[in-house]
């Protein structure tokens, strides 16, 4: 019995041992095999960190290869705030063992007392925004580097790299920085950048820096091509967070090069001429291809002000400027005035009215109301050429009322009125075509009366067009009827991918194939020649010495900033027999197209043909022009003093239809752009000198 009882106990003990061994082995397997990676991560050891670097943004050049937007090497001092915090606390807790009530300082005190004194010894300290650093740490921890300094010289960068502070979390980096070497030149075309939004970051990275993004101009529309491929640096760190070595590095790659159609010297010429006005736009186009040789809008801005971010005071100054410097007026709408008589002439000629005559008695009656001609006593009997020459309102209103609203809207739409041209620039306005579907949606209670149809032909009432649209139409008249899509992008090429966008004109319509007789088109061209060169023409002030041109003026009534005023236009092409340039100028608060816009067109054409004759046009760095809201009755040029007073008296006033038409104010001129990156201002806690280190290392 005793022996059996003893054996039983042995069996129980053996079972317990075996069960315990099983549990132990199972636990060992779980810890050492299944959860091996989990526990290895808890052991202080070396580890790898992936650091994302932004790609190198592609260059933007003009048509000659001159660089208008480039990248410089920018040397930065950055903080990984989480690493700094961790390193400080390791030392602090070691020194304050056993002190129950001891509380470590906040992150700003840590930066000011633990980091900045060491930077000061190396002459690398600076003031900063403590508020921005604190918010950055709460939001991003150590994931996104905090840029403490972005203005290091190469010598400072090299000195830091050679004499490392061995302070975890403090690094120097090299990054590309955008520069616009010619200042405000072509600023509305080039646009500007905004620093990357610190939003979602891929989980693979412990440190992440994104790419700046274009939010205006070509920088915005071509952003997908300009952004370069990211770089990835893999760094081996020890358990204290100190860098040991770079184990892998994929360099950031260059984005595509964007070549514009602009000629920088022609752009400089156009902008310089336009600064004689307070607020204006000008376009110079090659009518043979639709390429935009210059696009100017004043006032303007310096895109360098936004690199890397703009100060709040500078941005406020731009935004408070009533002249709206961010607005690209070349693709914004103006009431077109008598420049709309050109598309009216095309519409009439296409539909059997080329030989029409009109007896102008100084007005056209619509019931009891009258729309006057600018020449109140009338022009008498006119044909098409002379009607264009003298800018006779009744002639073109007769065309409109004979064709009717539907046909007029159809022909104007074919010429691109009422819709964007498709140029690769953001926020291009479509204009307003009265009688169109879009117009009916906008003005729901309106119907197209005979008076409003007549007004369409002379560019009054609700009509609106952009200078770029008018340049496209004038180019079609100049080149024999081919309506090209305006182009600002000439070519896009990538170092590895090759040509992504080729230099190829895009024909939108052929007016001859659409029914316009070439002889009738020649009559329109002849009318524009007469307007510039014959007595009674309204565009004589636009003619450069020794050059035959075709031109048309326009003066449109509007309200601007609460004041009843005008927009002055002149559109032209030159030389007459072999057109190589179409030039359009529109000036706000201009007295008349002939007296204000005409002289500006003359100066631009004079410079263009001087260049053709071998004279070198200047090109300098532009300083932003603030513009003004002054009324401009006339722009006088010294060489114009000999003009006969008869020429100065001829021209439309823009007020002929004021008796029956409600003049609508122009669109709000403050362009609604995405907010840029605003530079954080230095505050009190970030401006204090660095204090002594709180603890000993």
- Please give the Cα distance from 72 to 57 (Å, whole number): 10
Q: Which pLDDT score, from 0 to 100, does residue 644 have?
A: 33
Mean pLDDT of 416-425: 97
Integer Cα distance of 518 and 541 in angstroms: 28
Handedness of CA 448, 449, 453, 456 (dihedral sign): negative
Q: What is the mean pLDDT of residues 185-199?
A: 88
pLDDT in tens, 87-132: 888 888 888 877 777 788 899 999 998 899 989 888 889 999 998 8
Cis peptide before 575 (omega within 30 of 0): yes
CB 272 within 8 A of CB 284: no
pLDDT digits (tens, 9 = 90+) for 673-682: 667 777 777 7
- pTM given for the model: 0.86
Q: What angle do CA 179, 182, 187 make, to 5 degrees?
A: 80
For the chain, state the CA radius of gyration: 35
Q: Cβ-count burial of 139 within 10 angstroms (0-12 exposed, 13-18 middle, 19+ buried)? A: exposed
Which domains can be identified in the chain, with CATH numbers?
48-53+71-174+192-210+233-256+679-687 (no CATH), 264-649 (3.40.710.10)
**What confidence tier does 2 reach under pLDDT thresholds 50, 70, 90?**
low
CA distances from 530 to 235, 390, 643 (A): 74, 9, 17
Q: Mean pLDDT across the chain, nearest whole number?
A: 87
Q: Determine the 3-state secondary structure of 78 from DSSP.
A: strand
Q: Give dist(CA 347, CA 471) in Å, integer.
A: 17
In angstroms, the Cα distances linking 7 to 520, 534, 574 are 125, 133, 120
* Residue bearing the bigger pLDDT, 241 or 661: 241
Residue 318 reports pLDDT greater than 80:
yes
Percent of all residues in the chain with a pLDDT value above 90, rounded to a whole number = 56
Task: Name which of 461, 446, 368, 453 is nearest 406 in CA terms.
Answer: 453
* 210 CB burial (10 A radius; 0-12, 13-18, 19+): middle
Mean pLDDT confidence for 557-585: 94
Residue that has been written with the tokens 């915090």 in this structure: 85
The answer to whether the CB of 457 falls within 8 A of the CB of 521 is no
Q: What is the dihedral of CA 25, 31, 32, 38, to 10 degrees?
A: 170
Evaluate whether 538 touches 646 at the Cβ level (below 8 Å).
Answer: no
- Residue 346 pLDDT grade (very low, low, confident, very high; cuts 50, 70, 90): very high
Mean per-residue pLDDT, 464-477 = 98
Q: What is the 3-state secondary structure (H, E, C) of 182-215?
A: CECCCHHHHCCEECCCCCCCCCCCCEECCCCEEC
Which of 29-33, 138-142, 255-259, 294-298 has the least mean pLDDT?
29-33
Which residues lie below 8 Å from residue 586, measured CB to CB, with a gap of 6+? 280, 281, 282, 329, 334, 467, 567, 568, 569, 597
pLDDT band at 641 (very low <50, low <70, confident <90, very high): very low
Between CA 298 and CA 433 the distance in angstroms is: 26
- pLDDT of amino acid 260: 98
Is the pLDDT reported for residue 239 higher than 80? no
């Amino acid at each position: 019995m005793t022996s059996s009882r003893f054996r039983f106990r042995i069996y129980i003990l053996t079972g317990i041992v075996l069960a315990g061994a099983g549990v132990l082995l199972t636990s060992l397997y779980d810890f050492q095999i299944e959860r091996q990676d989990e526990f290895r991560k808890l052991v202080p050891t070396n580890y790898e960190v992936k650091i994302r670097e932004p790609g190198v943004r592609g260059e933007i050049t003009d048509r000659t290869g001159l660089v208008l937007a480039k990248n410089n090497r920018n040397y930065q001092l950055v903080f990984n705030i989480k690493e700094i915090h961790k390193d400080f606390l390791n030392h602090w807790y070691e020194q304050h063992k056993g002190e129950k009530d001891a509380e470590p300082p906040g992150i700003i005190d840590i930066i000011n007392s633990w980091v900045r004194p060491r930077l000061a010894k190396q002459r690398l300290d600076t003031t900063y925004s403590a508020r921005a650093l604190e918010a950055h740490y709460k939001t991003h921890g150590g994931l996104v580097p905090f840029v403490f300094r972005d203005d290091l010289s190469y010598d400072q960068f090299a000195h830091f790299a050679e004499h490392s502070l061995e302070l975890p979390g403090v690094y120097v980096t090299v990054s590309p920085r955008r520069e616009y070497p010619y200042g405000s030149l072509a600023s509305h075309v080039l646009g500007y950048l905004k620093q990357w939004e610190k939003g979602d970051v891929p989980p693979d990275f412990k440190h992440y820096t994104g790419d700046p993004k274009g939010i205006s101009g070509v920088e915005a529309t071509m952003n997908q091509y300009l952004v370069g491929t990211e770089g990835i640096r893999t760094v081996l760190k020890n358990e204290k967070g100190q860098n040991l070595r770079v184990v892998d590095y994929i360099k950031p790659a260059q984005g595509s090069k964007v070549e514009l159609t602009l000629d920088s010297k022609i752009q400089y010429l156009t902008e310089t001429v336009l600064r004689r006005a307070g607020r204006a736009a000008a376009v110079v186009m090659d009518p043979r291809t639709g390429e935009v040789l210059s696009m100017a809008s004043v006032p303007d801005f310096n895109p360098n002000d936004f690199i890397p971010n703009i100060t709040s005071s500078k941005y406020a100054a731009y935004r408070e400027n009533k002249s709206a410097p961010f607005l690209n007026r070349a693709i914004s709408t103006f009431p077109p005035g008598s420049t709309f008589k050109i598309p009216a002439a095309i519409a009439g000629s296409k539909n059997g009215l080329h030989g029409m005559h009109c007896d102008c008695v100084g007005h056209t009656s619509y019931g009891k109301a009258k729309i006057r001609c600018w020449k109140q006593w009338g022009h008498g009997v006119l044909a098409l050429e002379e009607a264009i020459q003298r800018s006779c309102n009744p002639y073109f209103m007769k065309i409109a009322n004979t064709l009717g609203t539907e046909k007029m809207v159809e022909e104007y739409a074919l010429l691109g009125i009422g819709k964007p041209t498709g140029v690769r620039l953001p926020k291009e306005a479509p204009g307003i075509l009265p009688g169109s579907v879009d117009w009916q949606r906008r003005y729901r209670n309106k119907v197209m009366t005979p008076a409003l149809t007549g007004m369409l032909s002379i560019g009054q009432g609700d009509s609106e067009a952009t200078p770029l649209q008018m340049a496209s139409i004038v180019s079609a008249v100049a080149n024999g009827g081919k309506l090209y899509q305006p182009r600002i992008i000439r070519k896009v090429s990538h170092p590895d991918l090759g040509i992504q966008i080729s230099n190829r004109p895009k024909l939108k319509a052929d007016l001859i194939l659409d029914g316009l007789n070439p002889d009738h088109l020649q009559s329109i061209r002849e009318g524009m020649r007469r307007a510039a060169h014959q007595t009674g023409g309204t565009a004589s002030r636009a003619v450069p010495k020794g050059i035959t041109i075709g031109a048309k003026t326009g003066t449109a009534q509007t309200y601007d900033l609460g004041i009843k005023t005008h927009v002055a236009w002149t559109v032209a092409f030159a030389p007459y027999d072999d057109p190589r340039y179409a030039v359009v100028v529109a000036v706000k608060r201009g007295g008349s197209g002939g007296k204000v816009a005409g002289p500006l067109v003359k100066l631009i054409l004079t410079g263009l043909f001087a260049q053709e004759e071998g004279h070198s046009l200047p090109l300098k760095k532009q300083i932003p022009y603030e513009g003004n809201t002054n009324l401009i009755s006339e722009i006088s040029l010294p060489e114009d003093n000999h003009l006969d007073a008869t020429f100065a008296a001829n021209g439309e006033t823009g007020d002929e239809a004021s008796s029956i038409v409600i003049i609508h104010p122009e669109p709000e001129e403050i362009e609604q752009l995405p907010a840029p990156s605003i530079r954080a201002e230095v505050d009190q806690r970030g401006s204090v000198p660095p204090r002594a280190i709180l603890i000993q290392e």
